[in-house]
Amino acid sequence: MEIPTLSDRYSATEVQGYYDSGCWSTDTFAELIARQAETWGDKTFITDGTTAFSYAELRDLSARLAIGLRERGVGAGDRVAVQLPNWAEFAVVAAAIARLGAIMVPIMPIYRRDEVGHVLDDAQVSAVFTASTFKNFDHLGMYRDLAATRPTVHTIAAVRAEVDADGVVVPLANLLSEVDAVEAAATLGSPVTADDPYVIVYTSGTTARPKGCVHTFNTYASGARALNTAFAFTPEDVGFSPSPITHTTGLVTGVLIPLLAGGSTHVMAEWEPRRGLAEIAEYRCSVTVTATTFIQMALDVFDPAEHDASSLRVWVSAGAPIPRSVVERARTAFPAAKILSLYGRSENLCTTTCTVDDDPEKSLTSDGAALPYSAVQVVDDNGNEVPVGEEGDIAYTGPSHMLAYLGRPEETAELYTPAGFSRSGDLGRSDADGYVRVTGRTKDIVIRGGMNISVREIEDLLAEHPGIRANAVVGMPDLRLGERVCCYIVPTDTANPPTLDLVKAYLEDRGLAIQKTPERVEIVTDIPTTATGKIQKHLLRQDIADKVEQVTSGA
């Protein structure tokens, strides 16, 4: 499959402008690490509570791992999937892949056979890094099965695993070349530039299958550079990252932001709010960017007599709009911290954000404004900007936009307005100062705790169930997660309709991640449609919202 190039997205004038402004740099990921290692040496860059690597160790280990990967046949342009929890080894693996000029394909740990198989095929992956087991799931077994029918996958590197190497599987430790790190770095050279493809991150939207967003190191790093300014991140800061490091938020805020600033980062593999607060205190974490649900859960358990959050100076809520009441609670619980809101997507990282210098009221009334050298418009169905205060599709242009969706030129082209802004499919309104409030979305997705869930993916799987005649999936309101998945079902046998447990088991057996499965089933005799047969999901959303409200209010 042909990988898009810089000129597919950016004109020569745009490229020069982004370099002149400092948004982009000639530094590749490997060159940035090498330069920061010279400056910061033995300073801890990343820790997960059990394993830690300094800047110098990150540089040296990644060079040795890159040599080992090259000996396995991985080279520039090859795609390497990484499905790991928030472990410190992720930074070493990501750096090694970049040193070879290969392209990292991060996969969230919750994804299972169906989603993972799609990504392996779509990206034409040749090598994989994975945990042996995590949260009682046999990741290594899954990849063995997937590789058995995919001869292009020639290497599965098992991290933190005591396994015997065979023709395909190899422990991570066995890939670390014995070559001296300095010699390794010299041997590897600079096979790519900062404008070559660096990462393909998959996102779910209105279609049943995730799409691969192809980014260069510059498009990714430019977002991190701008956010460093927005959050005033310094070498003294320690980031706290419980968000998946194998997706946009975790990769940008858990790795690139602290790396660019010369700071440190603490990543957390399994989120639990009390433990999270304890680790913030233990590692003196000062800046965190999480889905809104994380801060809500932390507030629910926070006890000032037990928890010390005095190190926190910035907590950014992303993934879903943060309610005003949550901001106010957080300011009371964490008085030393600025509570900010951010809105982004995998196609362009950060679309809008509040900053540490903004009027605090902006986090109560908006999801921020565009960063410098970026611009946002709220547009109508024809892509024309609507007046201030009117609702429309939030569209972006700037240095952080992906090159394209992998292998989907038509879907890529459909993103852009006549003025060259990239439509998000999310609805919002702007104020006179350019601050945007996300109000809804045009996409048919459910946002559960900041995670985008394609409803069509679920509906397509349920359509194959012999006991289900028709189904429709919508989001139902939830105070903690924002939304949960609700499924309306017309059963084949009305006397014996499928239960929630049966539906969940059926979907899990087909490889769907547990977080994507329905958490409520509504059995109905029919599903409302228009005269042309289109499901009227707004009626279903209103129905389930009314039922949830009745329970909440005690009616």
341 and 474: one domain?
no
Judged against a pLDDT cut of 70, whether residue 396 lies above it is answered with yes
Q: Which two tokens stand for residue 82?
A: 């990484």
Mean pLDDT for the stretch of residues 172-186: 90
How many other β-carbons are positioned within 10 Å of the β-carbon of residue 477?
16
Q: What is the pLDDT of residue 103?
A: 98
- How open is the CA angle 339-341-342, to the nearest 5 degrees? 140
- How open is the CA angle 121-126-132, to the nearest 5 degrees? 95
Among 35, 41, 64, 65, residue whose Cα is nearest residue 53: 41
| Sheet (strand 482-491) strand order | 468-478, 482-491, 520-523
Judged against a pLDDT cut of 60, whether residue 147 lies above it is answered with yes
For 124, list phi and psi in degrees, rounded to 5.
55, 60
Per the domain annotation, does 414 fall within a domain?
yes
401 and 469: one domain?
no
**Rounded CA separation 33/255 (Å):** 11
**Dihedral sign for Cα atoms in the order 144, 149, 152, 154:** positive
136 and 221: one domain?
no
* Start-to-end C-alpha separation, the chain: 56
How many other β-carbons are positioned within 10 Å of the β-carbon of residue 8?
13
Least confident of 254-258, 421-425, 462-466, 530-534: 530-534
- Please identify, among 132, 157, 192, the residue that sits at the C-terminal boundary of a domain: 192
425 and 514: one domain?
no
pLDDT-derived band at 205 (thresholds 50, 70, 90) equals very low
Mean pLDDT for the stretch of residues 397-402: 98
The domain that contains 84 carries what CATH number?
3.40.50.980
Per the domain annotation, does 203 fall within a domain?
no
420 and 512: one domain?
no
Mean pLDDT for the stretch of residues 469-495: 92
481 and 429: one domain?
no
160 and 297: one domain?
no
- Please identify, among 385, 418, 442, the residue that sits at the C-terminal boundary of a domain: 442
Instruction: State how far the alpha carbon of 323 is from the alpha carbons of 340, 438, 466, in Å.
Output: 11, 11, 41
pLDDT-derived band at 254 (thresholds 50, 70, 90) equals very high
Residue 180 in 3-state DSSP?
A: coil
Per the domain annotation, does 200 fall within a domain?
no
399 and 337: one domain?
yes
* Overall domain count for the chain: 3
The range of the structural domain enclosing residue 253 comes to 215-442
Per the domain annotation, does 22 fall within a domain?
no
DSSP code string of 235-256? TT-EEEE-S-TTSHHHHIIIII
Per the domain annotation, does 34 fall within a domain?
yes
Q: What is the pLDDT of residue 175?
A: 95
Per the domain annotation, does 2 fall within a domain?
no
308 and 331: one domain?
yes
In terms of pLDDT, which residue wins out, 98 or 460?
98
The domain that contains 489 carries what CATH number?
3.30.300.30
In terms of pLDDT, which residue wins out, 449 or 37?
37
R_g of the chain, CA atoms, integer Å: 23
Mean pLDDT for the stretch of residues 456-480: 88
230 and 358: one domain?
yes
Q: Which residue has the tokens 């509040």?
A: 354
Question: Which H or E run includes 155?
Answer: strand 155-159
- Please identify, among 394, 423, 442, the residue that sits at the C-terminal boundary of a domain: 442
Least confident of 9-18, 394-403, 436-445: 436-445
pLDDT-derived band at 530 (thresholds 50, 70, 90) equals low
Residue 517 in 3-state DSSP?
A: coil
In terms of pLDDT, which residue wins out, 464 or 168?
168
Structure pTM?
0.85
Judged against a pLDDT cut of 50, whether residue 519 lies above it is answered with yes
Q: Provide the mean pLDDT of the chain.
A: 93
The domain that contains 361 carries what CATH number?
3.40.50.12780
CA dihedral 432, 436, 442, 443 (to 10 degrees): 160
Per the domain annotation, does 199 fall within a domain?
no
Per the domain annotation, does 480 fall within a domain?
yes
392 and 286: one domain?
yes
Among 280, 263, 267, 192, residue whose Cα is nearest residue 224: 263
- What is residue 438's DSSP assignment? E
108 and 162: one domain?
yes
Contacts of 14 (CB under 8 A, 6+ apart): none
Mean pLDDT for the stretch of residues 199-221: 84
How many other β-carbons are positioned within 10 Å of the β-carbon of residue 236?
11
Provide the H-helix boundaries in 304-448.
324-333, 361-365, 409-414
